[in-house]
Amino acid sequence: MSRADAVRIVPLEGWHAPHLEALQVTCFPNLAAAERMRAEHFLHHLEVFPEGTFVALADAAPDGAPLSPPRVVGLGSGFRTEFDLDHPDHTFGEIIDGGWFGHHDPHGDWYYGADVSVHPEYRRRGIGGRLYDARKALCRHLDLRGIVAGGALPGFAHHKHALSAEAYVADVVAGALSDPTLSMQLRHGFEVLGVLEAYLDDAAADGWASLIVWRNPDWSGGAGRSAA
Ligand SMILES: CC(C)(COP(=O)(O)OP(=O)(O)OC[C@H]1O[C@@H](n2cnc3c(N)ncnc32)[C@H](O)[C@@H]1OP(=O)(O)O)[C@@H](O)C(=O)NCCC(=O)NCCS
């Protein structure tokens, strides 16, 4: 089994919930505890919009040794929303309703990306990209406009004393700087529409985030949308 074959992207199931809670702590060490999702949130997502959450399961340890049961190593979660790109200011906590996805709109024409995260031991082997691909396939299936999200800027902490968030993001977009998260998102077809102030309770990045979108090239323009 190759390293890529050893990881499956699967729909959310109840037993994943406590493992996803632990994954949040590992993947978002700088985020305030109140902004990390917990097991009860993931169980609730099964009621609200189960199609919107994808879980990466590893059938092998990082060194390739077989694992049974599989290990939860990645998450891509989100919900449907009407998003006004002309008035994009929002915070992470309010849009995800404290993790409950209470603003999920079954007729919303955007997928709001609440979270993509991969365990550090499993990064840089394409799992994050596969989670984005799963979301893109969902957007095509539901005929949504695309994905909109506030993007974490983990590399900004090292530059915030010299650069504004706008200047940092512009340098990452231009390729002059590389950000562990934003550079990867740009390579996966996202575009930056701006920056969001006080988006996250994240002292390292002083709360700044990017506003990113991926536009579904197959979106029909609104005709024949299906609800889910
Ligand atoms: C952002 C994150 C989800 C990326 O996950 P990942 O599984 O490492 O993503 P990928 O492997 O698809 O891509 C990461 C890099 O590995 C590279 N890569 C992919 N497969 C590879 C392979 N087989 N060998 C070597 N490199 C590989 C990709 O080209 C990419 O490079 P880039 O960053 O220079 O573009 C992960 O770093 C993470 O959890 N970060 C912390 C949480 C976070 O910030 N989440 C985003 C919130 S908006």
Q: What is the pLDDT of residue 105?
A: 98
What is the extent of the structural domain holding 151?
A: 7-215
Q: What is the pLDDT of residue 202?
A: 86
Atom of ligand 1 nearest to the CA of 149: 48
Q: How many folded domains does the chain comprise?
A: 1
Would you place residue 31 in the very low, low, confident or very high pLDDT band (cuts 50, 70, 90)? Answer: confident
Give CA separation, 206 vs 54, 159, 160, in Å.
Answer: 29, 11, 8
Residue ranges lining ligand 1, Cβ < 6 Å: 27, 116-118, 123-129, 151-152, 154, 180-181, 183-184, 187
Q: What is the whole-number distance in angstroms between the Cα of residue 115 and the centre of ligand 1?
A: 14
Mean of per-residue pLDDT scores for the chain: 94
Can you say whether residue 7 is alpha, beta or left, with left for phi > 0 and alpha for psi between -120 and 50 degrees?
beta
Closest CA relative to residue 112, chosen from 88, 141, 129, 128: 88
Do residues 183 and 172 touch, judged by C-beta distance below 8 A? Answer: yes
225 located within any domain: no
Cross-strand partners of 111: 80, 147
Q: Which two tokens mark 65?
A: 């040794």
Burial 105-143 (b: 16+ CB within 10 A, else e): eeebbbbbbbbbbbbeebbeeebbebbbebbbebbeebb
Atom of ligand 1 nearest to the CA of 118: 39
Q: What is the whole-number distance in angstroms between the Cα of residue 91 and the centre of ligand 1?
A: 24
118 located within any domain: yes
Would you place residue 227 in the very low, low, confident or very high pLDDT band (cuts 50, 70, 90)? Answer: very low
Tokens 């550090």 correspond to: 120
221 located within any domain: no
Would you place residue 195 in the very low, low, confident or very high pLDDT band (cuts 50, 70, 90)? Answer: very high
Q: What is the whole-number distance in angstroms between the Cα of residue 226 and the centre of ligand 1?
A: 31
Q: What is the pLDDT of residue 228?
A: 47
Atom of ligand 1 nearest to the CA of 181: 1
125 located within any domain: yes
pLDDT surpasses 80 at 1:
no
Would you place residue 203 in the very low, low, confident or very high pLDDT band (cuts 50, 70, 90)? Answer: confident
Q: Whose CA is nearest to atom 14 of ligand 1?
A: 124
1 located within any domain: no
223 located within any domain: no
145 located within any domain: yes
CATH number, domain with residue 121: 3.40.630.30
228 located within any domain: no
For residues 91-105, average pLDDT: 97
Name the percent of the chain lying above pLDDT 90. 90
Encode pLDDT of 51-88 as tens digits: 999 999 999 999 999 999 999 999 999 999 999 999 99
Closest CA relative to residue 99, chosen from 38, 31, 187, 165: 38
Q: What is the whole-number distance in angstroms between the Cα of residue 196 and the centre of ligand 1?
A: 22
Beta-sheet pairing, 110-118 with 146-151: parallel
Give the pTM.
0.93
Name the percent of the chain lying above pLDDT 70. 95
Q: Which amino acid type is present at position 17?
A: A
